[in-house]
């Protein structure tokens, strides 16, 4: 185990790992070992907005390194194990890994901004379903199609919309044969079509 690891913590789905606020000088950096962490803000009306997913091997809580106010909650999306790291004890290899992850997170944010500006909700939902399929929230059905275990509320948070609107678009995608929608899960039965939707502008 690297010298930087202070502790390993386990969280159940929905448990909060970090709260918004100004980081304390003793705050740690976190690396996901297993599971999935959702970086999410909540507005004054209680609408959640997912800013990033943190997958195994990736880092979060990076504001501790910069003394910058954290404007989100970090929440376990599945049963999740995270390593608590002492930033002062990162090895050169870990520092490089962290830099690569931060650069990827910036690039991912830019794509989110581009989608919000240039794409319709239907295309953004297609993109979000494909993102979910690439996380531990996904299983496979008998035909080998990815099945993502998410609620319409969770999809709404991922695309910056509300449940009612998402439910309408999910119905549309199901009628058009892109997905099969069940309670708390969505099977992606036309991946090629969803990828086309996800890349199309406005």
Dist CA 112 CA 51 (whole Å):
9
Stretch that binds a copy of itself, among 12-20, 58-66, 130-138, 182-190 (CB under 8 A): 58-66
The CA radius of gyration of the chain, in Å to the nearest whole number, is 18
Dist CA 126 CA 47 (whole Å):
21
Pair of tokens at residue 98: 């962290």
Phi and psi at residue 186, to the nearest 5°: -135, 125
Stretch that binds a copy of itself, among 13-21, 37-45, 139-147, 167-175 (CB under 8 A): 37-45
Dist CA 131 CA 108 (whole Å):
11
Number of residues that bind a copy of itself (CB under 8 A): 36
Under the criterion CB under 8 A, does residue 107 sit at the interface with a copy of itself? yes
Among 71, 141, 168, 196, binds a copy of itself (CB under 8 A): 71
Place of tokens 């079509």: 193
Among 10, 109, 139, 140, binds a copy of itself (CB under 8 A): 109
Dist CA 143 CA 57 (whole Å):
29
Under the criterion CB under 8 A, does residue 91 sit at the interface with a copy of itself? no
Q: Which of 112, 135, 131 is nearest to 41 (CA)?
A: 112
Under the criterion CB under 8 A, does residue 201 sit at the interface with a copy of itself? yes
Any idea of the CA torsion for 127, 130, 134, 135, to the nearest 10 degrees? 80
Among 56, 160, 165, 190, binds a copy of itself (CB under 8 A): 160
CB of 132 to a copy of itself, least distance (A): 18
Measured from the CB atom, the residue of 109 and 139 that comes closer to a copy of itself is 109
Measured from the CB atom, the residue of 16 and 68 that comes closer to a copy of itself is 68
Chain residues that interact with a copy of itself, rule: CB under 8 A: 41, 43-45, 47, 49, 51, 62-63, 65-66, 68-69, 71-72, 95, 98-100, 102-107, 109-114, 116-118, 160, 201
């Amino acid at each position: 185990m690297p010298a930087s690891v202070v502790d390993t913590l386990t969280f159940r789905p929905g448990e909060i790992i970090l709260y918004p606020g100004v980081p304390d000088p003793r705050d740690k950096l976190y690396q996901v070992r297993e599971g999935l962490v959702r970086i999410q803000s909540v507005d004054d009306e209680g609408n959640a907005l997912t800013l990033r997913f943190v997958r195994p091997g990736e880092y979060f809580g990076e504001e501790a390194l910069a003394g910058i106010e954290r404007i989100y909650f970090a929440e376990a999306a599945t049963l999740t194990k995270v390593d608590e790291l002492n930033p002062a004890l990162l090895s050169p290899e870990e520092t490089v890994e962290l830099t690569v992850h931060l650069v990827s997170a910036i690039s991912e944010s830019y794509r989110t901004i581009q989608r919000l500006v240039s794409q319709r909700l239907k295309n953004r939902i297609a993109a979000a379903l494909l993102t979910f399929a690439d996380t531990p929230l996904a299983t496979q059905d008998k035909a080998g199609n990815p099945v993502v275990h998410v609620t319409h509320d969770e999809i709404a948070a991922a695309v910056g919309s509300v449940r009612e609107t998402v439910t309408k678009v999910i119905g549309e995608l199901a009628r058009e044969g892109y997905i099969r929608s069940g309670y708390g899960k969505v099977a992606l039965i036309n991946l090629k079509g969803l990828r086309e939707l996800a890349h199309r502008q406005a």
